Amino acid sequence: MNTNKIRNYTLLSIIFTFILGTLLHFTYEWSGENIIIAAFSAVNESIWEHLKLLYFPMLLTLIIGYFYIGKSTPNFICSKVIGILSSILFTIAFFYIYSGILGKYIAIVDIILFFVATIFGEFLSYILIKNNFKCNNKIYLTLLILLGICFVFFTYSAPNIGIFRDPITGETGIKYI
Protein backbone atom coordinates (compact mmCIF):
# COMPACT_ATOMS: atom_id res chain seq x y z
CA MET A 1 0.00 0.00 0.00
CA ASN A 2 1.40 3.36 -1.07
CA THR A 3 1.30 5.74 1.92
CA ASN A 4 1.93 8.80 -0.26
CA LYS A 5 -0.97 7.91 -2.51
CA ILE A 6 -3.28 7.51 0.51
CA ARG A 7 -2.03 10.77 2.04
CA ASN A 8 -2.54 12.69 -1.21
CA TYR A 9 -5.99 11.19 -1.67
CA THR A 10 -6.88 12.20 1.91
CA LEU A 11 -5.70 15.78 1.39
CA LEU A 12 -7.69 16.04 -1.85
CA SER A 13 -10.73 14.59 -0.07
CA ILE A 14 -10.49 17.27 2.60
CA ILE A 15 -10.24 20.07 0.05
CA PHE A 16 -13.07 18.61 -2.04
CA THR A 17 -15.33 18.30 1.02
CA PHE A 18 -14.51 21.88 2.08
CA ILE A 19 -15.47 23.23 -1.34
CA LEU A 20 -18.49 21.06 -2.15
CA GLY A 21 -19.84 21.17 1.40
CA THR A 22 -19.68 24.96 1.37
CA LEU A 23 -21.45 25.10 -1.99
CA LEU A 24 -24.15 22.66 -0.85
CA HIS A 25 -25.07 25.13 1.87
CA PHE A 26 -26.38 27.41 -0.88
CA THR A 27 -27.44 25.15 -3.78
CA TYR A 28 -31.03 24.68 -2.61
CA GLU A 29 -31.61 28.42 -2.52
CA TRP A 30 -29.65 28.97 -5.77
CA SER A 31 -31.78 26.33 -7.51
CA GLY A 32 -34.98 28.23 -6.75
CA GLU A 33 -35.78 25.71 -3.99
CA ASN A 34 -35.78 22.75 -6.36
CA ILE A 35 -37.13 19.70 -4.51
CA ILE A 36 -34.60 17.37 -6.14
CA ILE A 37 -31.64 19.58 -5.18
CA ALA A 38 -33.12 19.64 -1.66
CA ALA A 39 -32.31 15.95 -1.21
CA PHE A 40 -28.58 16.61 -0.91
CA SER A 41 -28.40 20.33 -0.02
CA ALA A 42 -29.09 22.15 3.22
CA VAL A 43 -32.71 23.36 3.04
CA ASN A 44 -32.65 25.20 6.36
CA GLU A 45 -30.31 26.02 9.22
CA SER A 46 -30.98 22.88 11.30
CA ILE A 47 -28.06 20.78 12.45
CA TRP A 48 -29.52 17.80 10.52
CA GLU A 49 -29.48 19.68 7.23
CA HIS A 50 -25.93 20.85 7.85
CA LEU A 51 -24.78 17.26 8.33
CA LYS A 52 -25.54 16.74 4.62
CA LEU A 53 -22.68 19.14 3.91
CA LEU A 54 -20.35 16.50 5.33
CA TYR A 55 -22.14 13.35 4.23
CA PHE A 56 -22.59 13.92 0.50
CA PRO A 57 -19.12 15.32 -0.33
CA MET A 58 -17.46 12.63 1.78
CA LEU A 59 -19.63 10.01 0.07
CA LEU A 60 -18.42 11.26 -3.30
CA THR A 61 -14.80 11.07 -2.16
CA LEU A 62 -15.43 7.51 -1.01
CA ILE A 63 -16.83 6.57 -4.44
CA ILE A 64 -14.04 8.30 -6.37
CA GLY A 65 -11.39 7.02 -3.98
CA TYR A 66 -12.63 3.46 -4.33
CA PHE A 67 -11.55 3.49 -7.97
CA TYR A 68 -8.30 5.29 -7.13
CA ILE A 69 -7.06 3.28 -4.12
CA GLY A 70 -10.02 1.39 -2.70
CA LYS A 71 -9.94 -1.66 -4.97
CA SER A 72 -6.47 -2.53 -3.70
CA THR A 73 -7.20 -1.60 -0.08
CA PRO A 74 -9.37 -4.20 1.69
CA ASN A 75 -10.49 -1.89 4.50
CA PHE A 76 -11.08 1.20 2.35
CA ILE A 77 -14.88 1.30 2.44
CA CYS A 78 -15.31 0.70 6.16
CA SER A 79 -12.47 3.10 7.01
CA LYS A 80 -14.09 5.85 4.95
CA VAL A 81 -17.53 5.14 6.42
CA ILE A 82 -16.10 5.29 9.94
CA GLY A 83 -14.58 8.64 8.98
CA ILE A 84 -17.92 9.94 7.69
CA LEU A 85 -19.82 8.74 10.76
CA SER A 86 -17.14 10.19 13.06
CA SER A 87 -17.35 13.58 11.34
CA ILE A 88 -21.12 13.59 11.76
CA LEU A 89 -21.03 12.50 15.40
CA PHE A 90 -18.25 14.99 16.18
CA THR A 91 -20.35 17.77 14.64
CA ILE A 92 -23.47 16.84 16.59
CA ALA A 93 -21.63 16.51 19.90
CA PHE A 94 -19.57 19.67 19.56
CA PHE A 95 -22.52 21.73 18.28
CA TYR A 96 -24.76 20.80 21.19
CA ILE A 97 -21.98 21.17 23.75
CA TYR A 98 -20.88 24.62 22.65
CA SER A 99 -24.39 25.96 21.97
CA GLY A 100 -25.60 24.52 25.28
CA ILE A 101 -22.80 26.18 27.21
CA LEU A 102 -23.15 29.53 25.43
CA GLY A 103 -26.93 29.37 25.08
CA LYS A 104 -26.73 30.45 21.44
CA TYR A 105 -25.39 29.53 18.02
CA ILE A 106 -22.46 31.38 16.51
CA ALA A 107 -22.12 31.18 12.73
CA ILE A 108 -18.32 31.40 12.68
CA VAL A 109 -18.05 28.58 15.22
CA ASP A 110 -20.38 26.46 13.08
CA ILE A 111 -18.23 27.13 10.01
CA ILE A 112 -15.04 26.25 11.87
CA LEU A 113 -16.79 23.14 13.21
CA PHE A 114 -17.52 22.01 9.64
CA PHE A 115 -13.85 22.31 8.69
CA VAL A 116 -12.58 20.63 11.86
CA ALA A 117 -15.10 17.78 11.53
CA THR A 118 -14.03 17.22 7.92
CA ILE A 119 -10.35 17.05 8.87
CA PHE A 120 -11.14 14.80 11.86
CA GLY A 121 -13.11 12.28 9.77
CA GLU A 122 -10.67 12.21 6.88
CA PHE A 123 -7.67 11.90 9.20
CA LEU A 124 -9.34 9.03 11.07
CA SER A 125 -10.02 7.29 7.74
CA TYR A 126 -6.39 7.80 6.75
CA ILE A 127 -5.13 6.27 10.01
CA LEU A 128 -7.47 3.27 9.68
CA ILE A 129 -6.52 2.65 6.05
CA LYS A 130 -2.81 3.02 6.72
CA ASN A 131 -2.90 0.67 9.72
CA ASN A 132 -4.93 -2.03 7.93
CA PHE A 133 -7.88 -1.80 10.33
CA LYS A 134 -9.85 -5.03 10.00
CA CYS A 135 -13.57 -4.60 9.39
CA ASN A 136 -16.56 -5.80 7.41
CA ASN A 137 -17.11 -3.53 4.41
CA LYS A 138 -20.65 -4.81 3.85
CA ILE A 139 -21.86 -3.79 7.30
CA TYR A 140 -20.39 -0.30 6.99
CA LEU A 141 -21.65 0.11 3.44
CA THR A 142 -25.14 -0.80 4.66
CA LEU A 143 -24.88 1.83 7.42
CA LEU A 144 -23.75 4.41 4.88
CA ILE A 145 -26.68 3.67 2.56
CA LEU A 146 -29.20 3.75 5.42
CA LEU A 147 -27.85 7.11 6.57
CA GLY A 148 -28.15 8.47 3.03
CA ILE A 149 -31.76 7.29 2.86
CA CYS A 150 -32.43 9.04 6.17
CA PHE A 151 -30.92 12.29 4.90
CA VAL A 152 -33.18 12.24 1.85
CA PHE A 153 -36.32 11.05 3.66
CA PHE A 154 -36.03 13.51 6.54
CA THR A 155 -35.52 16.39 4.12
CA TYR A 156 -39.11 15.93 3.01
CA SER A 157 -40.61 14.46 6.17
CA ALA A 158 -38.65 15.66 9.18
CA PRO A 159 -39.88 15.01 12.72
CA ASN A 160 -40.56 18.10 14.79
CA ILE A 161 -37.62 17.62 17.16
CA GLY A 162 -34.56 19.73 17.88
CA ILE A 163 -31.97 18.28 15.52
CA PHE A 164 -34.33 18.79 12.55
CA ARG A 165 -35.65 22.22 13.58
CA ASP A 166 -34.34 25.38 11.96
CA PRO A 167 -33.34 27.63 14.89
CA ILE A 168 -34.31 30.72 12.90
CA THR A 169 -37.75 29.76 11.55
CA GLY A 170 -38.66 26.85 13.82
CA GLU A 171 -39.55 24.84 10.68
CA THR A 172 -38.37 21.32 9.86
CA GLY A 173 -37.49 19.98 6.42
CA ILE A 174 -39.22 21.49 3.40
CA LYS A 175 -42.81 21.88 2.36
CA TYR A 176 -42.94 20.43 -1.14
CA ILE A 177 -46.68 19.90 -1.60
Q: Which residue type sits at 60?
A: L
pLDDT of residue 70: 81
pTM: predicted TM-score of the whole model, two decimal places: 0.92
Task: Please report, for residues 8, 114, 161, the alpha-carbon distance to residue 158 in angstroms, rounded to integers and kept in the order given.
Answer: 38, 22, 8
Sequence spans of domains, the chain: 3-164
- 41 contacts: CB under 8 Å, gap ≥ 6: 24, 25, 26, 27, 28, 31, 52
Distance CA 167, CA 134 (A): 41
34 Ramachandran zone, left/alpha/beta (phi>0; psi -120 to 50): beta
Kindly report the CA angle at 114 between 109 and 115, in degrees rounded to 5?
100
pLDDT of residue 134: 87
Q: Residue by residue, what is the 3-state secondary structure of 61-76?
A: HHHHHHHHCHHHCCCH
pLDDT of residue 168: 83
pLDDT of residue 4: 86
pLDDT in tens, 112-165: 999 999 999 999 999 999 998 888 889 999 999 999 999 999 999 999 898 999
Task: Please report, for residues 2, 105, 106, 151, the alpha-carbon distance to residue 57 in angstroms, rounded to integers and kept in the order given.
Answer: 24, 24, 24, 13
